[in-house]
Amino acid sequence: MSESDLLGHWASARWHIIVSQVAPTLLLTALIGFAALGLADTPLSVRIAAAGVLLASGILGALAQIAAANEATAVIGDLQRLDAPSALSRRVIASAPWINVVRLVTPAIFVIVYIALLTALFLP
């Protein structure tokens, strides 16, 4: 695969990482707003449904970003094997450690916020 092709795959993986954050972020924000407006006082079935929608979106978002991060890691590995990488390729290679933020830190933050929201919705 050429350097240009690899950089195209990098850009695609980066875009997928960004897009995978949109739905969970919007849903977390909405649920925080709804909680502030009294969601915790609604029937149990409504609170369970809200928690379920958020959980499903979070899981799918995390899976998408982890898959994209793994693909980005593979691209970085291929770029490292190039004989004379361009300045852009060297910058992409240098970003390799930050891929772990996408794979580990972002999903962990989602879990912490999700647990906080569950606490607000289901505990008095």
CA dihedral 26, 29, 34, 40 (to 10 degrees): 110
pLDDT (mean) for 35-51: 94
> Tens digits of per-residue pLDDT, 99-109?
999 999 998 99
pLDDT at 124 over 80: no
Instruction: Label residue 20 by pLDDT band (50, 70, 90).
Output: confident
d(CA 8, CA 2): 10
Nearest 5°: the CA angle 45, 48, 51 is 150
